[in-house]
Chains A and B, each alone.
Chain A
Amino acid sequence: DAGITQSPRHKVTETGTPVTLRCHQTENHRYMYWYRQDPGHGLRLIHYSYGVKDTDKGEVSDGYSVSRSKTEDFLLTLESATSSQTSVYFCAIKPEGSTDTQYFGPGTRLTVL
């Protein structure tokens, strides 16, 4: 599992509340990614990071922010959750020199009521 954990694994929240998902890795990889997975859409990139405090937007970044103050942690925040953000969220890392191969965490299932 490449030493990747995600927390929480499941969360139910209400519309308008802030939510933060955490991705933690144990191997100090530089590249980290947040995806969401929805039926009919596959995986879509939300944000990614290429180092501490270095982040960039992905395909579906609206409504999400990220922070990376330490190499091992990549946080995804929904400032004000909406029902459209109900999804399964996956974190991934890419080891340097691995030619784009990614390793995924176990996922967080988020339900926004």
Chain B
Amino acid sequence: SQQGEEDPQALSIQEGENATMNCSYKTSINNLQWYRQNSGRGLVHLILIRSNEREKHSGRLRVTLDTSKKSSSLLITASRAADTASYFCATAGGSYIPTFGRGTSLIVHP
């Protein structure tokens, strides 16, 4: 069964707006990662946040992690049409096997 679950399943916004998607998980983790998948392509790693970190930034991406609530959020600021993709969170515990959620489908309208 999947560890992480993204919310919402789908998100539609206008270019320039911010996009926020959330990930909830069930058991303790060592780290949590976010991936992007463009249509018809493989997943691409975006950012990793460790269990002892609360916030991390990478360009227009901001990731937060709340281990007490077992949740994470991914914020994309000033979105662009090129950000249109599906976004997945993946959680990893003690093994080398990340577990993926079902993803959030983001559409950014020009």
Chain B residue numbers with a CB within 8 Å of A103 are 45
Contact assessment for B96 and A40 in the assembled complex, using a CB-CB cutoff below 8 Å: no
Chain A interface residue count, Cβ-Cβ cutoff 8 angstroms = 27
Spot the interface stretch: B10-18, B58-66, B68-76, B98-106: B98-106
Instruction: Find B48's partner among A42, A92, A94, A101 (CB 8 Å cutoff).
Output: A101
Spot the interface stretch: A14-22, A43-51, A65-73, A76-84.
Answer: A43-51
Q: Known: A31-B96, A43-B88, A50-B96. Is A102-B101 also a contact (CB below 8 A)?
A: no
B43 touches which of A31, A41, A90 (Cβ 8 Å): A90
With the chains together, A101 CA to B88 CA distance in Å?
13
Q: Is A58 an interface residue (CB 8 A)?
A: yes
Which residues of A line the B interface, CB within 8 A?
Answer: 1, 4, 31, 33, 35, 40-45, 48, 50, 58-59, 90, 92, 94, 99-107
For this complex, 12 residue pairs linking A to B, each with C-beta atoms less than 8 Å apart, are A41-B2, A41-B102, A42-B2, A43-B100, A44-B2, A58-B97, A90-B42, A99-B48, A99-B50, A100-B90, A100-B92, A102-B43
